[in-house]
Structure formats: C-alpha cells, structure tokens
Amino acid sequence: MDMCEANAYLRKGDKDELYFEMVDKVIPQAEGLLLEDIFGRRKVFNGRILELALVDHRIVLQEDPKAG
C-alpha cells in the first residue's frame, strides 16, 4: 500500500524529537496546528511548521515560544 503519511518532529535546538507518527492531515487553526493521523487520531500543536519534506515523510514543527 502506497501510504504517504509523514512523521511530525519537534525541532528542539539541533535535535528533532518525534512528536506524532503517520500524520495524514495538518490544518492550521486559530488554536494551533490540528494534526490528524491515518487512524483519525488528533492532536493540536501550539506552534508552526518549519519545514515539510514529503519525499522523506517528514514534517518539522517548532513550538510557539509563548508556550510552556
């Protein structure tokens, strides 16, 4: 099966930490980024997209500095 989901990583300094696997949808909303995986599970992420690299199945995110 040719599934083109991606993994979402959180960039922290010079490291990328895995945040959410097998992401299908990403929808920017007022509250943050709504991420939905291929099973329909959702997370809302308080931050922004730094980079998409789809051939590598990577979404790189950065937390909003106001958060945490």
Q: What residues make contact with a copy of itself under the rule CB under 8 A?
A: 2-6, 23-28, 38, 48-55, 57, 59
Q: Measured from the CB of residue 51, what is the shortest distance to a copy of itself in angstroms?
A: 5
Q: Measured from the CB of residue 41, what is the shortest distance to a copy of itself in angstroms?
A: 14
Strand 58-63 to strand 6-12: parallel, antiparallel, or no bridges (unpaired)? parallel
**Closer residue to a copy of itself, CB minimum distance, 38 or 44:** 38
CB contact at 8 A, 66 and 15: no
Distance CA 55, CA 67 (A): 30
27 φ/ψ angles, rounded to the nearest 5 degrees: -130, 110
**Closer residue to a copy of itself, CB minimum distance, 30 or 54:** 54
